[in-house]
Amino acid sequence: MKKTSTSLQFILLGIVFAIFWSSASVAAKIGVKSMEPLVLFQFRFFLAGILLLAYHAVFEKWQWPNRQEVIALGIFGFLNVTLYLTLFVLAINEVAAGIGSLSVSLGPVLMAIIGGLILGKKIEPRQIFGLLFGIGGVFIAVWPLLQNSFATFRGLTYLFIGMLSYSLAAVYFSEKKWNLSRYAINGWQVLFGGIFMLPLTFYFKKETIQFSTESILSILWLTIPVSLLAVNLWLKLIKIDAIKAAFFLFLCPIFGFTFSSFILKEPFTWHTMVGLILVLIGLYLGQERKINQITD
């Protein structure tokens, strides 16, 4: 009876994680209507970093990173936040929010491939087939959106390069030995990533910063439910069972497209359904279970 209760709790936590994590694209899409994308995310990164480090200081034993850890955190933050999310932010104005959610779900497949190329890990045939299924699924899903101006090739290119950076960050994190707590690591990497992003934000900034109800709510949603709550749930899940936790990533594209359809009125066609099915098959075939990740 106790085992059944624990399993049910694990499943419920995983579903809540997938719901909040997949809502990021929709929240960003709403926020950029009244605030420039990089400015919006710049506020999010700094706020999330401060809150995470505050949690570390209050609820954990505070520990300053040493020189080697600062360098590692800087590299991780640049790949995981600056490069990946800068490209994501630039893409969100040119692609449907659901496509942004779908692209994130390809991460496990890319991580497996990168792990094989860089670290010499054996790439199984099923992982290659998984990548092919994933790419095919994305192409089928975005085809009608391209025809209806819901996505541009430039936006899709941003997403692809961003996912490569995200995948490199995950591989780097999984292979690095960390002495800091995960809350501290996440807080510092988000803060460093935001600092590295500042020059790009000022370069692309064209308008005076003006807050609106939409932008404030977007920043708060991206910071608290996504950066804090979803990641906290993810850390809890992988602590219980990392292999089972990874399967909840499969739910993210489904929730992402559902949110986009109901909230943003973006199309949910048979192309979308077929694409989702192929992506989920690809993720199942190509997931590398040995890679652990931490995201903002």
Q: Is residue 235 part of a domain?
A: yes
Res 294: pLDDT = 41
Q: How many CA atoms lie within 13 Å of 153's alpha carbon, on the beta-carbon side?
A: 0
Tell whether 97 is covered by a domain: yes
Low-confidence ranges of the chain (pLDDT < 70): 1-6, 97-102, 104-106, 108-109, 112, 115, 119-123, 127, 142, 145-150, 235, 238-239, 241-247, 250, 264-268, 283, 286-296
CA dist., res. 198 & res. 51, Å (int): 19
Residues 203-230 have pLDDT tens digits of 888 888 888 888 899 999 999 998 888 8
Assess if residue 155 is contained within a domain.
yes
What's the burial of 153, exposed, middle or buried (CB within 10 Å: 0-12/13-18/19+)? Answer: exposed
Mean pLDDT of the chain: 78
8 Å CB contact between 88 and 158: yes
Is residue 296, in this structure, part of any structural domain at all?
no
What is the chain's length?
296
Is 109 within the bounds of a domain? yes
Under 8 Å CB-to-CB from 214, ≥6 apart: which residues?
30, 31, 33, 34
Handedness of CA 261, 266, 270, 272 (dihedral sign): negative
At residue 286, the pLDDT reads: 60
CB atoms within 10 A of CB 221: 20
Q: Does any domain span residue 293? A: no
What's the pLDDT score for residue 24? Answer: 81
Which residue range is the domain that position 34 belongs to? 2-286
Residue with tokens 């505050």: 54
Inside any domain, residue 295: no
Q: Is the dihedral of CA 166, 171, 172, 176 positive or negative?
A: positive
Domain count, the chain: 1
The predicted pLDDT at position 273 comes to 78
Round to whole Å and give the CA distance between 41 and 34. 13
pLDDT of the residue at 48: 92
Identify the pLDDT of residue 278.
79
Q: Confirm whether 243 is domain-assigned.
A: yes
Sign of CA dihedral 118, 280, 106, 16: negative
Model pLDDT, residue 8 = 75
Q: Which of 218, 167, 189 is nearest to 35 (CA)?
A: 218
> Could you tell me if 126 and 286 are in contact, meaning their C-beta atoms sit under 8 angstroms apart?
yes
